[in-house]
């Protein structure tokens, strides 16, 4: 399996060999914020929200797609989930 298959859809390797995600240079981000660095691609998250909702509504008309907050949760992600019409399960 090619390593890029594991990356978000808009990830690429730049001319200098650095990984770019959403146009952001991961080496520069590590230099600024240190490691470990958790990087989330908003456009990829939004795309997956829409894919899940479309797939479930196709099979189950009255379904709701719910994100499990115990996986990872912060204010920015909650905003994205709300804007995309997702539910949120908080335990």
What is the percent of the chain with per-residue pLDDT over 70, rounded to a whole number?
Answer: 99
- In sequence order, the 6+-apart residues with CB closer than 8 A to the CB of 57 are 63
Each residue of 23-58: b (16+ CB within 10 Å) or e? eeeeeebeeeeeeeeeeebeebbeeebeebbeeeee
Q: Cα–Cα distance between 6 and 28 in angstroms, integer?
A: 21
**pTM to 2 decimals?**
0.82
Residue 47: band (very low, low, confident or very high) from pLDDT cuts 50, 70, 90:
very high
Residue 1 has pLDDT above 80, yes or no: no
Locate the domains of the chain by residue range.
3-33, 43-89
pLDDT at residue 90, as a whole number: 85
CB 31 within 8 A of CB 53: no
């Amino acid at each position: 399996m090619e390593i890029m298959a594991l990356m978000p859809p808009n990830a690429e390797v730049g001319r200098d060999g650095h990984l770019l995600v959403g146009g952001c240079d991961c080496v520069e981000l590590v230099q600024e914020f240190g490691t470990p660095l958790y990087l989330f691609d908003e456009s990829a998250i939004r795309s997956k929200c829409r894919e899940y909702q479309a797939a479930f509504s196709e099979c189950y008309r009255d379904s709701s797609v719910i994100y499990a907050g115990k996986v990872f949760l912060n204010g920015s992600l909650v905003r994205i989930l709300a804007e995309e019409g997702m539910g949120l399960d908080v335990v």
